[in-house]
Amino acid sequence: MSSSSVSDGILKIATQYSIYSGSIIIGLGFIGNALNLLVFTQLKLFRTNRCAFYITIESIFNFIYQFVYISLTVLISTYGDDATERFFIWCKLRYILGQTCGLTTFYMICFTAVDQFFSTNHHFHLRQMCTLKLGRYLSLMFICFAIIHSIVLGCSYSIHPTLGCVLSNYVWVQYSTYFFYPVLFGFLPIIIASLFSMLAYHNVRHIVRRQLPIIRRKLDKQITAMVLMRVIAYVCLVVPYNAYRIYSINYPTSRSVPMAYAVGRLLQAILMSINNINFI
């Protein structure tokens, strides 16, 4: 069996995997995010809850990401790839939308963990620091930052004849390698979310000592447990894809090397599907 036929087979597997995994993730994502929006916006218990507010924003941007993912799945089933190598605008827009949704989703997880730490703290003045008005203001500021940042970085992508849709500017390659993926998109939200979710969990274990209504104590415990599980899932799912992105930006694979290109496509499909579970 020739290497070209093997590489063609791997590309076919990557395409089929992307289509089926994408369809499953899209279906689960719509159901999960729709339930989140229904519960946290309709139930009176959560209407003034700050964590519910952050989760609602996260779900909205997850929905936007799902539409991007639907587009990728349709393009893969039509062209056999994500079409970023075929359309100049889509090459940029795909990364602009993906990074905006990714940054917003991941940092809303951080906001939720930080807020839960303050709201369960035994010091009264710390509990009073975080308000819903402040949360809305900070969320709006961060969303504006995520949009502007993603537009600037996304516009630096261009189509290379053999490498496809890649970062073309050396400065942005260095920025993505040493700051965006490892820090802004990686360790910073991981550290913030992990640290404050564990501190919130520590607080809620001692919440019984405070004079609070039983319903409030149960709600705090349930939300804290939910936030902690969300953070654990986020950390496990995002790290492999971030490591791959750092590598692929610095060492893009050319179509002129069929086997390496096919293996890269398959690896990208697998790691992207794992990362996209974050948006369910």
pLDDT value for 208: 56
Cβ of 271: how many Cβ atoms within 10 Å? 18
Assigned architecture for domain 3-279? Up-down Bundle (1.20)
Phi-psi region of 2 (alpha: psi -120 to 50; beta: other; left: phi over 0): beta
Q: What is the pLDDT of residue 97?
A: 93
pLDDT digits (tens, 9 = 90+) for 45-98: 777 788 889 999 999 999 999 888 888 777 777 777 777 777 888 889 989 999
Q: What is the pTM of this model?
A: 0.86
Q: How many CA atoms lie within 13 A of 177 on its CB side?
A: 13
Domain boundaries, the chain: 3-279
- Quote the CA–CA distance of 217 and 114 in Å, as a whole number: 18
Residue 212 has what pLDDT?
59
Is the Cβ–Cβ distance between 159 and 95 less than 8 Å?
no
Q: Report the pLDDT value the prediction gives residue 3, as an integer from 0 to 100.
A: 66
Between the two ends of the chain, the Cα-to-Cα distance in Å is 40
Residue ranges in the chain whose pLDDT is less than 50: none
Q: What is the pLDDT of residue 267?
A: 92
* DSSP β-bridge partners for residue 164: 160
Residue pair 230/110 in contact by the 8 Å Cβ criterion: no
